[in-house]
Amino acid sequence: MLSSSRHRWFVVAIFFTFMLLHQSDRLLISSLTPNIMSTFHITMTQMGAISTGALIVGALCYPLWGYLYDRYGRAKLLAAASFIWGATTWLNAIAPTFKAFLFTRASTGIDDSSYPGLYSLISDYFGPKVRGKIYGLLELTMPLGFLCGMILALTLRDVIGWRGVFYITGSLGILLAAVIFFGVREPARGGTEPELAGVEQVTTYRFNWAAARDLFKKPSLRLLFVQGFFGVFPWNVITFWFFTYLEKERGYTGNALLVTMAAAVLVLAAGYPLGGAIGDFFFQRHNRGRVLVATTGVIIGAILMWITMNVPIANQGLFLVMLALTALFIPFAAANVISTVYDITLPEVRSTAQAVQSFIESAGAALSPLIAGFIADRSSLHDAILYICVSTWVLCAIFFLFVARSVPQDIATLRGQLRERAEYEKTLAAGGLTGAATTPVKGKPGPQPA
């Protein structure tokens, strides 16, 4: 049996692998888009609808996953999510018609919404002062997954076909399901919170509707929910259409295409842990630190994206430099938003809080590939990518500034609730009692009937 310290890094390694391969499977469709369009003889609008279908299903599944994670064991549910990923990808690979492909691709959205439990479980392995770094490390898997998916697609799509690529990634999902099921232990909820550090035995707190409703009473969380509606638009547009944009509108082929995308994605990957580390650094000095880092990232990203997309087509060198520079800043918000959500929510509803955040994000982002395809059919992919990315990042910056005003009070409220719980646990210990499973009302620490 691994020690507790070693085991938590073992879990990080497993989850990093899970997310990397899952993101590769989820995002490689961008690189396979020309082949899939050719197979089914469809337009860009129809192709956009394929991604939109998966996003809608994923959005609808977020509340269910959030509830299940906060109510039951997260590790076993993550294993189930990995199995669903593998099974639905196989179904997608054998779809004989466009309608069947549209339906089976939508079913892959079920497991796409399974991440809240993963992040919640990690929060019970690592304390709040370092979570930004860990989340930033895990967020690396999105750009690296895109890169791995692109390389996998480019090297194999003409050898085994796009269906064969899906067979490979689907099989990996089923294999990882077994690894997660047997290899990941379930930590105590809230066990890494500083206020509970000196408590020998902590009462088990699980999901309850009162605590879930209280999430919507937190000003910072409400603002983060609203900004999340717009915040994922750029990522979905870029991952789904940027590869096609370089091929069709900038004339990139072969090595030029691979080098440009690889360089941009590698720099983008560096931005996730860098943004998380900078957020942790400033959070330890002021509780507005994470949010201000996120604000800075989206503002600089919007400015640089505008400049990058207007670089002349003939100047590939300058375009590469500006694209890489843009890629460094645009992920700064990711790890800091997740960390901020956990900075202001009780441990037993953290999966639910992130699920609500992700549900709203997906609800807004579900139409983004379709909207981009619609704009592209009538104008260009250049206009679709540029206008959607810049406008939504500007809106996110405005919302982040409002979050920065309210987040100190919400953090103080949570810390007060956890201190009350710690005192309650010490009282129980002094009396020789142990806490039963509880459903605390409005954050109060006393046990309530389940």
pLDDT at 80: 96
Q: What does the block give as tokens for 232?
A: 């994922």
In the chain, the domains with their CATH numbers are 4-185+206-430 (1.20.1250.20)
pTM: 0.76
The whole-number pLDDT of residue 366 equals 66
Amino acid 172: pLDDT: 93
Residue in the block written with tokens 């590790």:
75
pLDDT at 336: 94
Integer CA distances (angstroms), 385 to 55, 80, 196, 261, in order: 18, 35, 46, 16
Successive 10-residue mean pLDDT values, the chain, 450 residues: 73 94 84 85 82 82 91 93 94 90 90 90 89 89 82 83 89 94 88 72 70 89 91 82 86 83 86 93 93 96 95 92 94 92 90 87 72 83 91 94 95 90 76 51 40
Distance of CA 390 to the CA centre of its chain: 20
Say how far apart CA 394 and CA 397 lie, in whole Å.
5
**N- to C-terminal Cα separation, the chain:** 33
Position 404 scores a pLDDT of 95
- pLDDT given at position 283: 93
